[in-house]
Amino acid sequence: MIVRSLIPILIFIPILLLQIYVVPVIEISGAVPDLILIVLIYFTLREGQLYAMILAMAYGFIYDISTGNLIGASMLSRVITAFIVGYFYNENKSETYLGNPIFPLIVLLGGFLNSAMYNLIVNFDINLNIAGIILFSALFPALYSAFVGAVGSMLFDTFGMRKSNG
C-alpha cells in the first residue's frame, strides 16, 4: 500500500526534471509538450477522479514552486483538468483507454483545457485576443502533448505496463 502511494511521487520527480530542463530544448514554435499532464492523465484513467485531483494539486503546487511561476495557477488548471478527464475513468475500461488510440485524444482534450486555463490565468489582460490565446497557447501545446502521449501509449501497449491488483 505504501509503495503504491509512492509510485506517483517517484515517477513525478524525474518527469519534473525533464519538464523543466529538457523539454524547453525541444520546443516547436513556442509549443512544448506537458509531460506532467500526460502522467497525471495516466493516473486519472488508472485510479479515478478523486485520486487524480489530489495528485494534480500536489503536482501543480510542486511545479509552481519549482519553476517560480504564479503560485496556484498550474495547480488550479491541473485540478480542473483532472476533474474533467476523470469522467473518462471507468474501472472496467481503464486498461482499454491506456493502451490504444483513445489515450492521445484524452491527452489532447486535457492538454487543451489545461493550457487554456493556465494561460487565461497567467496572461490575463483585457486587451488580449482570446482566440489567439486559445489557438497558439492552448491548441499547439495540446497537439504536441497528444503526440508525445501517443508515443507513450504505444510504449505502454508494447511493454504491457498493466495495472496490478496488489
Interval 19-75: pLDDT, tens: 999 999 999 988 899 999 999 999 999 899 999 999 999 999 999 999 998 899 999
**pTM assigned to the model:** 0.88
**Of 85-89, 121-125, 156-160, where does mean pLDDT reach its minimum?**
156-160
| Paired strand residues for 28 | 31
How far CA 73 is from CA of 39, 62, 139, in Å, comes to 18, 11, 18
Average pLDDT on 135-155 reads: 87
Cell of 38: 500526460
Q: How confident is the model at residue 166 (pLDDT cuts 50, 70, 90)?
A: very low
What's the rounded Cα separation, in Å, for the pair 104 and 106?
A: 5
